[in-house]
Amino acid sequence: MTRNANVFNPLLDLSGLPRFAEIDAAQIEPALDQTLARCRQKINEIESACDHPTWDSLAAEIQDIEEHLERVWSPVSHLNAVTDSEAFRAAVEVCLPKLSDFSSELGQNLTLFNGYKKLSRSAEFELLSDARKKVIKNAIRDFRLSGAELQGDAQDRFREISSELSSLSNKFDQNLLDATDQWVLDITDEADLTGLPQSAVDLAYENAKSASIEGWRFTLQAPSYAPFMMFCESRMLRERMYEAYVTRASELGPNAGAFDNSALLVKIVALRDEMATLLEFETYADYALEGRMASSANEVSDFLQDLADCSKKTALEEMRALHDFALSEYGQEDLKAWDIAFYSEKLKQSRFDFSDEEIRPYFPLPKVLDGLFFITEKLFGIKIHKSDGKSLWHEDVQFFELLNSDESIRGCFYLDLYARPHKRGGAWMSDCIGRRRLPDDAIQKPVAMLTCNFTPPVGGNPSLLTHDDVVTLFHEFGHGLHHLLTQVDESSVAGINGVPWDAVELPSQFLENWCWETEALNKISGHFETGAPLPPDLLDRMRGARNFQSAMQMLRQIEFSVFDMTLHDNQRIRAPEDIQNILDEVRNQVAVLEAPAFNRFQNSFSHIFAGGYAAGYYSYKWAEVLSADAYSRFEEDGIFDAKSGQDFLRSVLETGGVNEPLDNFTTFRGRPPSIDALLRHSGLGA
C-alpha cells in the first residue's frame, strides 16, 4: 500500500486485486508519474550491472519493471473502455504520451540491449530454462523492433512516431464510441415496430424509459442494431439505421464530420509506414510479421487467396439464391445493403424453419454460464465458482475463481457481459494480472477481464442470448483460459504473452466448437421459464442453418483481412480517398455483397486502427485452420475425451509463449495442420 502526499491512491496498491470501485480520474496521472519514476530509477541500477549481466541482474529485473507498470496501467485502460467519461478520457490522454516515451526509452536503451546480447552468449544462458531463454530471445528481437539500433535523429523520430500512434489510436476509439452512442432512432408509432421480436421491442422500450421519453429508442449498439436490421419490416427505417451505422465516425451520415476518423486513418497508416522504413523494412506489413507464424505478406496473401478460391463460387450461388428468394417471395427486385440481413433471415426461416429469436428463450445467461463451467471442468479438470466481495466497476460485473482439483485457486476472472452507454462495443479478453513466480517463490495467480455486449436482463427476465452470443461467450472464455491456465512462471511468456499474434486465436476459436454438440448443448441450454431442454427438432433446425451463407461470411472475413494486409503492404496512402480506393479494389476482387458508396467501414475498423490487429486481421482465419483441425481430434475420440482434453491443456493452454505454436499443435495433433477440417466445418468441402 502506497501513499502520496498522505493521500491514498488505489492504483498504487498492488497487494491484491485492483480496487476498481475506488479509482478516480484524478488519481491516474499521479499514479503513473510515481510508477514511471520508480521504473526509471530501477533501470539506472540495472544498467550499472550490464557489463557482466546475469538472468537475475538483468532479465528478471526488467520483467519486474514491465509487470509493475502493467499492474498499475491495466485497470486504467480497462476502465477507459467500459466506463467512459470526460474526466477519465482527459487523464488518459495526458498519460499516453508519458507511457509511450517510457516504452521508447526502455525499448531503445542500448546498454540494456547489449546486456541482453551478452547474456544470450554467456555460459549461464545454456543452463537456463526454455522459458527464460525465450524471454531473452524475444527481448533482443523487441529491442531491434523498437529502434534500439537507430541513432540520432532517426531514433528521436521513431520515439515521436510511437507516441503519436498511441494518441491517434486512442482518439480513433473515442470517436467511434461517441459516434455510436450519440445517434439514436426514436419511434413513437407502434406500426413501425412491425416484424421486430418482442425482445428487441422490450429493450427499445427500456432504452426510451431510461431516457425519459415516450415510445421506443433504438441505438447502434449490437443488441439493438442487429435485430432491427434482421426483422424490421420498414425498409425506410432499415436504411436510416444502416446508413447511421456504416457512416459512424466519418465525414458522411447523420452525424457527418462530428467524430470523423478519416484524417486519423491516413496519419496512422503513414506513421506506421515511416516507422517500418526507419527500421529498413520495405512495408509495415513486413515489420508487423516479425515473430509471427506467417513468414511474409506473400504467404498471408496466398493463404487468403486459397480460402477465397474455395469460397467464391459457393458465395456467388448463395447471393444469387438470396436475390431469387427476395424477388419470388416478396417481389423485391433491387436488393440494397440494408436489405441483406432482413431477407437473409427470411430465407433462413423459409429454408430451415429456424430463427435466432426462436432459440433465445433456451439460452438464459445463467444457464449458459453453468454449462460453460461444466464443460471447462469436464475437459480440463478445472472447477469454477462465483466469489463475492470484490471491488467492481459496475453493478452488473461478476467475479469468479478457477480451482484446481485440490480446491486451490488457479486464477480468477471478471465478467462484464451487458451492453450499456459509455462502454466500448464488441467483445474482448484483457489481462488484469499475469502469472509469475515471485521472489519468495510464491506464484502470482493470473486474473483476466472478459467483456461482452449482450442484451441485458429486461422485464424481470434474465439476459436471453442468441446462439451467436453463446459462441461469442465461449470464444472470449477460450482467450481467458489461455491466460489463466498457463503454467509458465516467467511473466513475459506466460499465458498469451509472447504467443505470436496469428496463433493467439487458437484456444478461443477451439472452444466455440462445443456450442454445437448435443452433449454440451444439454448443459448450456434450458428454457428460461420451464427449464425444458432444447427440443430435438429445434436443435436439428439450428444445426441445419449452421452453414447458411457460410461462404458469404467467409468472404467477408477475407475481405477485411485482405484490406488490412493490402493497406499495410504498400506506400501509396496520402489521403482518405487512397484508403477508400484500396477497399474498393479489394471488394471488387473478393466481395459478393455490393457496398453503397457512402459505406465507411474503414472508419470504424477498430481492430486494425486501435486494437492491435494491424497487418494481423488474417490471424482469425489463420488460427481457425488450427482450431478446427485441433477439434477434429475430439470429433474422432469423443467431445469430452479426457485424454484429449488434458493433452490440449498441456500442449497449448499451459505452455504460454515458450514454444513455437506449430510445435505445440503438432505435439497435440501428432501431425502438421490441415485446412480440410475448417472447410468441412464451414460446409465448403475439402
Determine, yes or no, domain membership for 137.
yes
What whole-number distance in Å separates Cα of residue 174 and Cα of residue 427?
17
Nearest-Å Rg of the Cα atoms of the chain is: 25
**pLDDT tens digits, 100-147:** 999 999 999 999 999 999 999 999 999 999 999 999 999 999 999 999
**pLDDT tens digits, 189-245:** 999 999 999 999 999 999 999 999 999 999 999 999 999 999 999 999 999 999 999
Q: Is 384 helix (H, G, I), strand (E, B) or coil?
A: strand
Strand partners of residue 412: 401, 447
Determine, yes or no, domain membership for 513.
yes
My answer on whether 144 and 29 are in the same domain is yes
My answer on whether 144 and 187 are in the same domain is no
Residue 388, pLDDT score: 87
Determine, yes or no, domain membership for 536.
yes
Determine, yes or no, domain membership for 465.
yes
In terms of Cβ atoms closer than 10 Å to its own Cβ (0-12, 13-18, 19+), residue 608 is: buried
Give the residue from 246, 275, 291 where a domain finishes: 246
**Is there a contact between 227 and 197 (Cβ–Cβ < 8 Å)?**
yes
My answer on whether 117 and 231 are in the same domain is no
My answer on whether 475 and 518 are in the same domain is yes
Name the residue among 62, 40, 64 with its Cα closest to residue 113: 62
Domain residues for the domain of 139 are 3-149
- Tell which phi-psi region holds residue 466, choosing left (phi > 0), alpha (psi between -120 and 50) or beta: beta
Residue 2, pLDDT score: 41
**Is there a contact between 246 and 211 (Cβ–Cβ < 8 Å)?**
no
- Find cell 479478453 and name the residue: 429
- For residue 479, give the amino acid letter: H
Determine, yes or no, domain membership for 384.
yes
Give the residue from 546, 566, 591 where a domain finishes: 546
CATH number of the domain at 115, please. 1.20.1050.40
What whole-number distance in Å separates Cα of residue 516 and Cα of residue 538?
12
The values of phi and psi at residue 267, to 5°, are -60, -45
C-alpha cell, 107: 525499448
My answer on whether 143 and 17 are in the same domain is yes
Determine, yes or no, domain membership for 669.
no
My answer on whether 397 and 491 are in the same domain is yes
My answer on whether 108 and 213 are in the same domain is no
| Strand 409-418 relative to strand 428-433, pairing | unpaired
My answer on whether 119 and 226 are in the same domain is no
What whole-number distance in Å separates Cα of residue 292 and Cα of residue 420?
36
Which are the catalytic amino acids?
A: 476
Q: How far is CA 201 from CA 151, 195, 227, in A?
A: 61, 10, 10
My answer on whether 365 and 479 are in the same domain is yes
Name the residue among 425, 516, 540 with its Cα closest to residue 468: 516
Residues whose CB is less than 8 angstroms from the CB of residue 277 and which lie 6 or more positions away in sequence, other chains included: none
- For residue 580, give the amino acid letter: Q
Determine, yes or no, domain membership for 580.
no
My answer on whether 190 and 102 are in the same domain is no
What whole-number distance in Å separates Cα of residue 143 and Cα of residue 108?
6
What whole-number distance in Å separates Cα of residue 517 and Cα of residue 639?
8
Segments of the chain scoring below 70 in pLDDT: 1-6, 686
The values of phi and psi at residue 590, to 5°, are -110, -45
Instruction: Tally Cβ neighbours within 10 Å of residue 90.
Output: 13
Dihedral angle of Cα 40, 46, 51, 56, to the nearest 10 degrees: -150
Task: Please give the tally of structural domains in the chain.
Answer: 3
Half-sphere exposure of 563 (CA within 13 A, CB side): 26
Determine, yes or no, domain membership for 215.
yes
CATH number of the domain at 405, please. 1.10.1370.40
**572-599 burial code (b ≥16 CB/10 A, e <16):** ebeebebbbebbbebbeebbbeeeeeeb
Give me the count of residues in the chain.
Answer: 686
Residue 573, pLDDT score: 87
C-alpha cell, 296: 511474409
Question: What's the sign of the alpha-carbon dihedral 272, 278, 279, 280?
Answer: positive
My answer on whether 93 and 233 are in the same domain is no
Residue 572, pLDDT score: 77
What whole-number distance in Å separates Cα of residue 616 and Cα of residue 623?
11
Give the residue from 225, 246, 267 where a domain finishes: 246
Alpha helices (H) in 108-197, listed in sequence order:
110-120, 123-127, 130-145, 152-181
DSSP state of 5: T
My answer on whether 138 and 220 are in the same domain is no
Residue 1, pLDDT score: 39
